[in-house]
Chain A
Amino acid sequence: MRYLLALSWLFSLLLVLATPPALANPEESAQQQLEQLKQQAIALNRELFILEEELLFPPQTQLAVFVSVDAGSFFQLDSIQLTINDQAVSAHLYTASELAGLQRGAIQPLYKGNIRAGEHSLTAVFVGKGPEGRDYRRAVSHSFTKADDAMLLELKITDSSANYQPDFSVEVWSGN
């Protein structure tokens, strides 16, 4: 009987011990304050970005290049090299997560810079694996005239069902 009493006492003690002491923490208010700080960070980030665009990349000189992959069954992108007027301006080596993002429909901002008004040419060299896993290297060129509006170009990788080959093209974004 004594042991049973002791056991029950020990079990009740265990229950008490197993329950961690309640911490006096106004967690909700801390969470709210933190959320407000995050909101402020988002607002500051946006304001700075807009100011940066205005100052560093005004539409009169802005050139931005984006990359998108539609399907991508016939081509797995490894890297892109970008030249403007025969000057290398950007090169990007893709990670698995970046490729997954592109294949799920994301658009990558590849390059943003400034150019003078007038005639220009852009060349993008795509390197990767083509059909049947063969090494694949293809270039696409595009000539354009820079005017007062920002020039936004999208490098598109699509699958051509006609010849079972990847297709590379440049699309000018209108209505910017």
Chain B
Amino acid sequence: MVRQLNNSVVTTLILALLASCLLLPAIAEPLSGREAGREAGREAGNESRHEAGKEFSTASPTEKHYRLAAWHFYLDDYYQALLQLSLAADEPAKARLLQAGLLLQLDMPAASASLLQRLLDDQTVSGTLPRQLRNIALLQYSRLLFEQQHGGQAGHYLSQLSQPLAELAGQAELLQQLLNWPTVSVSDPEVFSRLAGQSELPYVVINQILALRQQQQPAQALALLVKLRQQLLPDTQPDFWLQLFRWRWSEPLLSDSNERQALADYLQLLQAGLLVDQLQWAEAQQVLAEFASNSVLTLPAMTLYRDVLTENRQIPTLLAVLQQLIARYPYTAASWLAAHQLGNQFERALAQQDALAAYRWADNYYQQQLAANSGHASPVQLAQLTTPATLSDWQRYQLRQQASLFQLNNQLSAVQYLQQLQQQRLQRLENLTEVVQFKLAQQQQLLTAALPRLTAQQQALQLQAEQLAAEIATAGQQPMAQQLWRDDTEQNFARLQQMLGRAQGRVEALSAAGRDVNQAASRLGRLQGILQWHYQYNRAERHWQLAKQQRQLTAELAASNDALKRLTRLDGKTGRLLAQQQQLARLTARESQFEMALAAQQQQLLARLNSGLQQLQLAEREQLLELQRLNTQAIARIMEQVLLTSQEGQ
């Protein structure tokens, strides 16, 4: 049963989400690779974008967080993208879906599944999703359930997909096959047209071929395989006229040439297997003889080739294949077995001397392998995992080949990445602690020294302003208060007023002395009248100017008062700063706990990795010893035969 990588679904999920929510014409350009490059996908994306436009206005805060999260996603910074999403005040369905995709990118399937389940089970929320996005959510959640071996539930959610599925049809069908395996529909001539252009088509068809093989119908399986291989042929450059009239031609089935090559190799191997099923050994040999020597499937192909050659009694070729196996795959059981099989083939050909020599060579080979096996016992250190060049060839090979070890190695890498992130957070925490301490010291200085002085100054100013206002008010009550005369001209009048006052005094004194001062008094009265007129004439403007200056003074005093109040309120901010300081301390403590948990997890994973490697090493040792024993028996057998032959000859 062939299963595609889950990663492509995840990326499709996120890219489709982003495409659906970002109102950009540029999104209409083909997305790279298999994720979203097809026309159907673009159409669906455009439709979703239109729908998304109704939900997010271009300036809504949610959309901003969404697009900021997208920035971090495109830069592969998934933690930061998640952080950005979590800062949005509201959580619309699309944001949750994006969050689920990001969690999957961080290899957190359980968290992602939980989020998707909540989203899908809440109809009021999931109902707001555009149809195709809801389909993506359903598909992904079904896939996660399937991975967790909850086939029934996976089928339940998968059945909720809404038609038309467009570019999701292939993924849905593939998942359906996985859920129904081995009951797969094999009489499906429409599959090529139904899933035309979709990258899942070869996987769906291969599953059908495998089902046919399981039902022992190799002829039908071969026919289907040939049809599929034709579709996988590399896109050769058409000549000019063909290119000229090339219109609406189907694109190559898979745009990724590596994937296409791997699939072609797989199909070639499968074809050989089907031919063997039909006992067509010669044809199988021909197919395998043309198998690529640099494919990831070369080892199983060579193994099958060896068996086919054995069946076909093609001894020289078989010996060459066995030698190649030994040379190219030193850490595989097939290679060790090949060492013994060399002698075995000579023995079958009754070439006893050659067989004996080959078995002896194999014995020597097993001794070397056993010695090398003992060298594999040294445990892997953490530092070696960060620099794989320091690992032994055997360790590197096993970490690449054994699924469980590969996963453990990935998990260790994830822990190391978490440790790096944590170091960065610790550095930031340290900086923040310094900032808080600085701010606290600054405020302390301000509150203890500067604030009382400033408050006293402000209060004195306030008092002076009040006294001034009272004086002005009192002066305003007097007929011609001298202090209220304004500019230079008026000040001149004020001096005249003073002189007039003094003259008035002398007139009164002279009058008291019995002198005749009537004329002077009359002239003084006229002068007084003139000054009075001037005073009254400018009174309105004088009052307005005074009122304005008083208002300005009051405003300035109020502003300084407010500033002082703000400074006084820093007392409250000090409390806030102290609270933040405590929060920082708590966070630092949690980081320490987290660090310990990470270290414990790392040690646990490393122990498992080493334990796995050790088990492998011991198992391989057992296998080598068994083969050596078998080989020794063969040597004894051949020597006995040689002895008997020589005795008969004598």
Q: Which residues of A contact B (CB under 8 A)?
A: 3, 6-7, 10-11, 13-14, 17-18, 20-21, 23-25, 27, 30-35, 37-42, 44-49, 51-52, 54-56, 66, 68-73, 97-98, 100-109, 171, 173-176
Contact = CB atoms under 8 A, between A and B. Distances in A.
Given A38-B108, A42-B79, A104-B70, A24 B615 contact: yes
14 contacts: A10-B337, A23-B405, A25-B404, A34-B414, A37-B415, A39-B108, A41-B421, A42-B79, A55-B580, A71-B24, A101-B70, A105-B27, A109-B71, A175-B59
Contacts of A3: 348
Contacts of B435: 55-56
Q: Does more than half of chain B's interface fall in helix, strand or loop, or is it mixed?
A: helix
Given A41-B421, A105-B27, A51 B594 contact: no
Contacts of A38: 106-108, 111, 414, 418
Interface string B600-623: 010011001001100110010001
A105 B337 contact: no
A5 to B, nearest CB: 12
A92 to B, nearest CB: 12
Nearest to B112: A35
A109 B74 contact: no
Contacts of A45: 79, 83, 421, 425
Contact of B594 (A41, A54, A73, A109): A41
Interface residues of B, number: 80
Query: 3 closest Cβ contacts across the A-B interface?
Result: A105-B22, A101-B74, A17-B333
Given A42-B79, A105-B23, A106-B67, A27 B404 contact: yes
B108 A35 contact: yes
Contacts of B29: 103
Given A37-B418, A37-B594, A97-B74, A14 B612 contact: no
Contact of B74 (A18, A66, A106): A106
A17 B623 contact: yes
Nearest to B403: A20
B75 interface: yes
B405 A41 contact: no
Contacts of A105: 18, 21-24, 26-27, 67, 70
B591 interface: yes
Contact of B583 (A51, A70, A72): A51
B24 A104 contact: yes
A3 B27 CA distance: 66
Contacts of A54: 580
A97 B75 CA distance: 7
B598 interface: yes
B433 to A, nearest CB: 10
Nearest to B67: A107
B24 A23 contact: no
Nearest to A40: B594
A98 B106 CA distance: 20
Contacts of A6: 344
Contacts of A175: 59, 61
Contacts of A69: 26
Given A41-B422, A48-B425, A105-B18, A20 B74 contact: no
Given A104-B27, A105-B27, 20 more contacts: A17-B336, A30-B411, A33-B604, A35-B107, A35-B111, A40-B597, A41-B79, A45-B421, A47-B587, A51-B584, A52-B428, A66-B64, A66-B68, A70-B24, A71-B26, A72-B26, A97-B75, A101-B75, A105-B26, A108-B71
A106 B109 CA distance: 25
Contacts of B418: 37-38, 41
B594 A44 contact: yes
Contacts of B590: 44
Contact of A46 (B19, B83, B436, B584): B83
B341 interface: yes
Contacts of B73: 101, 106
A66 B59 CA distance: 13
Contact of A106 (B68, B82, B414, B580): B68
Given A106-B70, A108-B71, A23 B402 contact: yes
Contact of A14 (B82, B337, B422, B587): B337
B639 interface: no
Interface string B574-586: 0000001001100
Contacts of A98: 74-75
B307 interface: yes
Contact of B61 (A33, A49, A176): A176
A101 B71 contact: yes
A13 B61 contact: no
Contacts of A46: 83, 86-87
B432 interface: yes
Contacts of B27: 104-105
B612 A23 contact: yes
B421 A21 contact: no
Interface string B231-274: 00000000000000000000000000000000000000000000
Nearest to A19: B333
Nearest to B401: A20
Nearest to B583: A51
Contacts of B316: none
A53 B385 CA distance: 36
Contacts of B545: none
Interface string B425-467: 1001100100110010000000000000000000000000000
A117 B330 CA distance: 72
B59 A173 contact: yes
A111 to B, nearest CB: 14
A30 B68 contact: no
Contacts of B166: none
B83 A103 contact: no
Most buried by B among A21, A97, A102: A21
A103 B594 contact: no
A34 B68 contact: no
Interface string B99-130: 00000001111110000000000000000000
B334 interface: yes
Contacts of A18: 303, 333-334
B310 A7 contact: yes
B649 interface: no
B76 to A, nearest CB: 8
Nearest to B70: A106
A48 B587 contact: yes
Contact of B601 (A37, A39, A106, A107): A37
Contacts of A25: 404, 408, 608, 611-612
A10 B615 contact: no
A153 to B, nearest CB: 12
Contacts of B407: 27
B25 interface: yes
A156 B61 CA distance: 16
Contacts of B22: 104-106
Contact of B334 (A14, A21, A27): A14
